[in-house]
Amino acid sequence: MLGAIIGDIVGSRFEFGPAPEEGFDLFTDDCSFTDDTVCTIAVADAVLNGKSYKDALVEWCQRYPDPKGGYGARFYDWIFSDDHAPNNSCGNGSAMRVSSIGWLFDEWEDVVEEARKSAAVSHNHPEGIKGAECVAEVICWLRHMRFSKNDVERKVQKFYGYKLPPLSDIMRIGSEGHFDSTCQETVPAAIRCLVDSSTFEDAIRLAVLCDGDTDTKADITGAMAEACYGVPDEMVERAVSYLPADMRKILCQFYQHIQDEIG
């Protein structure tokens, strides 16, 4: 979960800012949490505290109505609608908020089912649901060491039909100004960044250097990279410093729960 939040914060200043360059600073005064972190916290809060996914997302997003970069137009309408009915979205928002589910459930059937539920309250297009299911399941695979990082590409193609584009293609498209806002674009790109990485930090850097929707691509990549590599302590400390107290409380609850489960 911290992997997702770190990716979000690191990528935040490039989403609508200057293109990233090799060797960029990970954390600066221009960084902040975005809607990705707000929604990630909301999904974890739902599972940990027995709330519905819809209620938790509405509660947290209304509490933080103007995060850095804002919300997508359709999701903003969903947050502040009267009935919060799903809007058939295939946007990458369903995949960027799902990381905690890959940790809080152990059986892959439960992981996939909960990921589906978390997506469907707003992003009920088949691609929106598939993106969330895939990210949560990859996290579950990696943390249980059911498959190695090198197996992920083959497994996501087999089970989800995602063919991962070469990293060079993703970077070229990003440099041309394309903003990859759908699950069917962002999830395969994020998985490619994970597969081609050598460390947690390397994975985050690759995702940001792909440009486009930098915070969300780095969020999804970071979520999976945490399960693969763990997260360096110094990056945890820097990222947490950007978060308000209520978000830190859910983070502490999440990691305490994980520690208790481990024994």
> CB–CB of 33/6 below 8 Å?
no
Backbone angles phi, psi at 191, to 5 degrees: -65, -40
Instruction: Quote the CA–CA distance of 252 and 263 in Å, as a whole number.
Output: 16
> CB–CB of 221/139 below 8 Å?
no
> CB–CB of 161/132 below 8 Å?
no
| Beta bridge mates, 34 | 68
> CB–CB of 256/6 below 8 Å?
no
Give the residue from 110, 216, 212, 131 showing the smallest Cα distance to 171: 212
Instruction: Quote the CA–CA distance of 45 and 155 in Å, as a whole number.
Output: 30
- Residues making up the annotated binding site for Mg(2+) are 34-36, 213, 215-216
- Residues making up the annotated binding site are 34-36, 213, 215-216
